[in-house]
Structure 1
Amino acid sequence: MASSSSSTFALSSSSTLLDSKAPRQSASPSSTVPLPTLPSPPAPSTQIRPWKSTAYCRRIARNVMAMATGEVPAEVATVEMAELPEIIKKVQEAWDKVDDKYAVSSLAVSGFVALWASAGVVSAIDRLPLIPGLLELVGIGYTGWFAYKNLIFRPDREALLQKLRETYNEIIGSS
């Protein structure tokens, strides 16, 4: 059972409580502490230097207009060739040699989707309770067997290297 008790408070002329609790202090205007003012937020970089973004946009628009007419601006051609690493140049040359770009693009997208799906399958298997440990043991066992069978003795190593060279030449097509 809950008992309810009521206590009465009486205030005297000096604003103190009679039931032995500390009096509540009222805040006077002189005892308030002002909060520090926050600094104004920094202006965005486009407002500080609008001429840079405007010049950049004008340069892009000029290059687009030049390319639409069929001419390549000299500054674009020199900048592109000077800044590109060698690997990107090789990739661009290989892409220019491709006849069926649609098929290559489709193959690349499907490869990316397959890689993404296989990562999802692996992560789903990894969440199962006993399977990751079992697969790890299988991997360790197969690695040990492969090393014993192909890497320990010299004739086995030479046979493995010969097989790898044959497979490489079969894929590449050179001898």
Structure 2
Amino acid sequence: MASASSSALSISSSSTRVDAKAPRQTTAASPQCVTLPTLPPPPVQSQSRPWKTTAYCRKIARNVMAMATGEAPAEVATAEMPEIVKTIRDTWDKVEDKYAVSSLAVAGIVALWGSIGLISAIDRLPLVPGLLELVGIGYSGWFAYKNLFFEPDREALVQKIRETYKEISGSS
């Protein structure tokens, strides 16, 4: 049996059989007693938490009652969807082969996940990250020297960027 006091918890043995084992000695015959420290008080919950839960439950109940009567819930009827959600929904409705688009999306996510794993594996190699950083710094320096230091080269670069932009955008 267990008895609790204000400062400690005492556990004493009983003389009854448990799981067909031999009976234990009583506390009178055994002066040993196990004393456990008291448990800390349970954490105090914030007063705003039950209020939020109650308000949320009331909101759900109000929406269920409105749907049961055939009315639209007040929040849904008055709130408009953002423009991007409407655009995505319209675009998805126009797609003819949704299975292929979904498969491509999943394949893209898997490819992104795999490439992140590959890059992190390469990054863990002792020599490769430093070597790649050195190559990047060298290429950046070469690009700056070739295209940015002298004025005729800068103007040629700006002209090339403008031509490429016109080709991509299709404007004349």
- TM-score range, shorter-chain basis? 0.5 to 0.7
The yes-or-no answer on 1:135 pairing with 2:124 is: no
* TM-score for both structures, normalised by structure 2: 0.57
CA contact (8 A) 1:149 1:156 kept: yes
Cα RMSD (Å): 3.7
Counterparts of 1:141 and 1:94, CA distance in 2: 44
C-alpha spacing 1:62/1:105, structure 2 compared with 1 (3 Å): farther
The yes-or-no answer on 1:116 pairing with 2:118 is: no
TM superposition shift of 1:138: 0.6
Aligned amino acid, residue 52 of structure 1: A
Counterparts of 2:166 and 2:105, CA distance in 1: 24
Q: Which residue matches 1:161?
A: 158
Q: Which protein, 1 or 2, shows the higher relative CO under an 8 Å CA cutoff with sep ≥ 6? A: 2
Counterparts of 1:113 and 1:125, CA distance in 2: 18
The yes-or-no answer on 1:149 pairing with 2:152 is: no
Q: Which residue matches 1:94?
A: 87
Higher strand share: 2
Aligned amino acid, residue 95 of structure 2: D
Q: Which residue matches 1:38?
A: 40
Counterparts of 1:132 and 1:105, CA distance in 2: 35
Gaps spanning 5+ residues in structure 2: where?
A: 1-35
Aligned amino acid, residue 100 of structure 1: V
CA contact (8 A) 1:150 1:156 kept: yes
Specify the structure having the higher radius of gyration (Cα).
Answer: 1
Q: Which residue matches 1:58?
A: 61
Q: Which residue matches 1:17?
A: none
C-alpha spacing 1:109/1:158, structure 2 compared with 1 (3 Å): farther
3-state SS of the aligned residue for 2:79? helix
Question: How many aligned positions are there?
Answer: 133
TM superposition shift of 1:52: 1.9
Q: Which residue matches 2:169?
A: 172
TM superposition shift of 1:147: 0.6
Q: Percent of counterpart pairs with the same letter?
A: 54
Higher helix share: 1
CA contact (8 A) 2:63 2:73 kept: no
C-alpha spacing 1:75/1:115, structure 2 compared with 1 (3 Å): same
Counterparts of 1:168 and 1:64, CA distance in 2: 53
* TM-score for both structures, normalised by structure 1: 0.56
